[in-house]
Amino acid sequence: MPVTLSYPGVYIEEVPSGVRTITGVATSITAFVGRALRGSENDPTRVQSFAEYERLFGGLWRDSTMSYAVHQFFQNGGRDALIVRVQNGGSAATLTLPVGFNLVAASTGEWGEKLRVRIDHPSHEDDPTDSLFNLSIRDTATGVTERFLNLSTDEDHARFVSDVLKQQSRLVRISGGAPGSRPDLTGVAPHTPTAGADPMLGDNWSTQFNSDGDDGSDITDNQISLASLKSDKEGLWALEKADIFNLLCIPPLTRGDGGDIGSQTRSAAATYCEERRAIYIVDPLTTWTEASHLTGGSGLDSAGWGLGRSRNAALYFPHIRQPDPLQENRLANFAPCGAVAGVMARTDGQRGIWKAPAGNDATLKGVVELSVKLTDGENGQLNPLAVNCLRAFPVTGRVVWGSRTLRGADQLASEWKYLPVRRLALYIEESLFRGTQWVVFEPNDEPLWAQIRLNLGAFMHNLFRQGAFQGSSPREAYFVKCDSETTTQNDIDQGIVNIVVGFAPLKPAEFVVIKLQQIAGQIQA
């Protein structure tokens, strides 16, 4: 009783209802790991459109297979992406001014060579100590301009230049120590624009940054999945800094033959997705140009493939072909992971995570053709091996025509055979994991168990109403059990409460059998 009853009268108390609504987590946040033209490195950055990706990471770049995968993701209906940029030996462009003021581009790459800066001073009345200055930075390639007012060279000042640029600028950082006195561009040779040039590049802008920016070499598996990266949270494990992701795409290292990621990366990605309750979308090898290549010695059973039958991974074949804007829109081959992830996101939004992201509605937008045109017979060879085929049909166009996990091979007889069943289970696991944190340290007795049954039951019933489960009634579709049978006195003594949740998943109609019978005419006796 929170209020002491001290005087005659009416006392009002608000009694907690015990209802703690469980909200379902996101279902299609897709993580991309690969090379980009610019942007922060080993730091997962969330983007919600390709325009935002262009602004932060430079857009399409021929040397970046990830940029094309992200473009295909948003083109096919994706909404949320996490970008992890990795690089191999790149360097950032620098600028040394004759005022003891050195700058460096905010990230590695040749893009920083297009930067210019301008320094001017506020009026004396606003700056009695003569330590404040204004700094403007211009990216001449994109037209983006940043301007910071009243920066200070004093480390104790609220607008100390190093701190402000580190926290607010996307273009530059201080290189070395901050200038000891207010910087000035007096004596710097002015830049004289040519006729018709942008007036923003006038006399007060510095000369262009030094030509020492470097995009680095092609990335390798070691920049993504080397074991030592795990402790530093870099490469694939930079996603440890992200709260949640549902799908993982690691496009090929480079374009063309021989650019596929290695078995080291495939194995690490599948293992990590099992830890994070996510699905790894696996790309086929560039050398797989026929259906028979997947079933022979160089296919899924080869030592070079190196990926086990993970229940949290799904393989799609073949590669897709679509116009390349950087090659005069000529057709080029691309890995399918980005487009497939977009189809999954679109299906989740339109139908729900329990709907298989395949079929006539799972069209691959922007895809002109497929690198291999599979027949029904070839599809019949690959489907029992848990290879999800991409098919081309008249009128319908290019579609996803398979929805199995790598555990979906017929011989394995796994309960996680179908991708929507596995994804629904992961969705329920993650939602309940996050939605039951309040249970920790609560008194472990029947009142708590009743609250658990109430809140988890409400969440499961909402899924049942949306059509996520089999059965015509809640009793047939799911159950939530938390009582003295699941939690014994010994469990209570050890501080354990056991919750058992079961559900009857919907499985896709993978094979539709139509039986026809000719009715014989009535015979007169």
Read off the pLDDT of residues 72-91 as tens digits, 9 standing for 90 and up.
999 999 999 999 999 999 99
**467 and 481 belong to one structural domain:** yes
Greater model confidence, 270 or 182: 270
Task: Give 175's pLDDT tier (boundaries 50, 70, 90).
Answer: confident
- The answer as to whether 308 is a domain residue is yes
- The answer as to whether 209 is a domain residue is no
In this prediction, residues 297-309 reach a mean pLDDT of 77
470 Cβ contact partners less than 8 Å away, ≥ 6 residues apart: 476, 477, 504, 505, 506
- The answer as to whether 8 is a domain residue is no
What pLDDT does 193 receive? Answer: 42
State how far the Cα of 144 lies from the Cα of 59, in Å rounded to an integer.
14
What pLDDT does 196 receive? Answer: 45
Q: What is the percent of the chain where pLDDT is above 90?
A: 72
In this prediction, residues 224-232 reach a mean pLDDT of 95
State how far the Cα of 337 lies from the Cα of 284, in Å rounded to an integer.
9
**471 and 512 belong to one structural domain:** yes
Of 8-17, 313-322, 370-379, the range with the lowest mean pLDDT is 8-17
Give CA 56 to chain center in angstroms: 15
Phi, psi torsion values for 282, nearest 5 degrees: -95, 130
- The answer as to whether 5 is a domain residue is no
How many structural domains compose the chain?
3
Residue 356 has pLDDT above 70, yes or no: yes
Task: Name the residue among 150, 142, 198 with its Cα closest to residue 170.
Answer: 142
The pTM of the full predicted model, rounded to 2 decimals, is 0.92
Within a 10 A sphere around the Cβ of 196, how many other Cβ atoms? 6
Highest mean pLDDT pick, 13-17, 175-179, 332-336: 332-336
Name residue 332's beta-bridge partners: 322
Asked if 150 and 126 touch (Cβ cutoff 8 Å), the reply is yes
Asked if 50 and 77 touch (Cβ cutoff 8 Å), the reply is no
Within a 10 A sphere around the Cβ of 147, how many other Cβ atoms? 11
What pLDDT does 314 receive? Answer: 97
In this prediction, residues 397-416 reach a mean pLDDT of 95
In this prediction, residues 289-309 reach a mean pLDDT of 81
Of 2-11, 22-31, 285-294, the range with the lowest mean pLDDT is 2-11
What pLDDT does 197 receive? Answer: 46
Residue-level length of the chain: 525
- The answer as to whether 489 is a domain residue is yes
Task: Give 301's pLDDT tier (boundaries 50, 70, 90).
Answer: confident
**416 and 462 belong to one structural domain:** no
Task: Give 524's pLDDT tier (boundaries 50, 70, 90).
Answer: low
Q: Which domain holds residue 223?
A: 30-88+217-420
State how far the Cα of 28 lies from the Cα of 372, in Å rounded to an integer.
28
Q: What is the percent of the chain where pLDDT is above 70?
A: 91
Whichever domain contains 121, its CATH number is 2.60.40
- Domain end marker among 170, 201, 232: 201
State how far the Cα of 159 lies from the Cα of 171, in Å rounded to an integer.
18
Residue 228 has pLDDT above 90, yes or no: yes
- The answer as to whether 505 is a domain residue is yes
Of 152-161, 179-188, 267-276, 435-444, the range with the lowest mean pLDDT is 179-188
**190 and 236 belong to one structural domain:** no
Greater model confidence, 100 or 191: 100
**284 and 410 belong to one structural domain:** yes
**260 and 124 belong to one structural domain:** no
**174 and 277 belong to one structural domain:** no
Residue 200 has pLDDT above 70, yes or no: no
Burial class (CB in 10 A: 0-12, 13-18, 19+), 254: middle
Greater model confidence, 202 or 460: 460
**46 and 150 belong to one structural domain:** no
Residue 332 has pLDDT above 80, yes or no: yes
Asked if 499 and 486 touch (Cβ cutoff 8 Å), the reply is yes
**348 and 390 belong to one structural domain:** yes
In this prediction, residues 44-67 reach a mean pLDDT of 96
What pLDDT does 191 receive? Answer: 42
The 10s digit of each residue's pLDDT in 251-274 is 999 998 889 999 999 999 999 999
Query: What is the residue-wise DSSP string for 256-283?
Result: STT----HHHHHHHHHHHHHHT-EEEEP
What pLDDT does 126 receive? Answer: 55
Residue 427 has pLDDT above 80, yes or no: yes
What pLDDT does 199 receive? Answer: 44
In this prediction, residues 495-504 reach a mean pLDDT of 96
What pLDDT does 39 receive? Answer: 94
Whichever domain contains 371, its CATH number is 3.40.50.11780
Task: Give 361's pLDDT tier (boundaries 50, 70, 90).
Answer: very high
What pLDDT does 119 receive? Answer: 81
Residue 305 has pLDDT above 90, yes or no: no
What pLDDT does 188 receive? Answer: 47
- The answer as to whether 425 is a domain residue is no
Residue 189 has pLDDT above 50, yes or no: no
In this prediction, residues 451-455 reach a mean pLDDT of 95
**302 and 362 belong to one structural domain:** yes
**186 and 240 belong to one structural domain:** no
In the block, residue with structure tokens 């809140």: 455
